[in-house]
Amino acid sequence: MAECLFCKIRDGEVSADIIFENDECLAFRDINPKAPVHFLVIPRRHIANLWDTKTSDEGLLGRIQLMIPKIAKDQGLDSGFRTVLNTGPGGHQEVYHMHYHVLGGGPFTGFN
């Protein structure tokens, strides 16, 4: 059984509002949204953060980033969005399964 919260969401052991999934990534709404639209995009495979990536992950990382504008468009973020990826304590990372934050749709609150 996975110990990681986002692996549990991936495996359906913890519920989440999933808005997109394919064979290598998953997007779900942030439980504590800092903007009218705030979702997270994770690789299905457990990768802790960018420190945990290898050259062999370059295709995966590129394909996930290429999915983000498509998911953002589906979520109505026509005027743009912010993408954030926190790494380690210095980046204020709280959940150690790599995730892109995608925010938009109005004012941001309390996002550091």
Residue 95 interacts with which of ligand AMP, Zn ion, none, CB < 5 to 8 Å by class:
ligand AMP
Residues in contact with ligand AMP, shown as a per-residue x/- string from 73 to 92 under the rule CB under 6 A: -------------x-----x
Cβ atoms of 40 and 34 within 8 Å: the answer is: no
> Is 99 a catalytic site residue?
yes
Instruction: In whole angstroms, give the CA distance from residue 55 to residue 108.
Output: 34
The 10 Å CB-count burial string (b at 16+, else e) for 83-106 is eeebbeeeeebeebbbbbbbbbbe
Residue 10 or 77 with smaller CB distance to ligand AMP: 10
Query: Considering the rule CB under 6 A, would residue 95 count as an interface residue with ligand AMP?
Result: yes
Active site residues: 99
Which residues here bind Zn ion, judged by CB under 5 A?
A: 4, 6-7, 46, 97
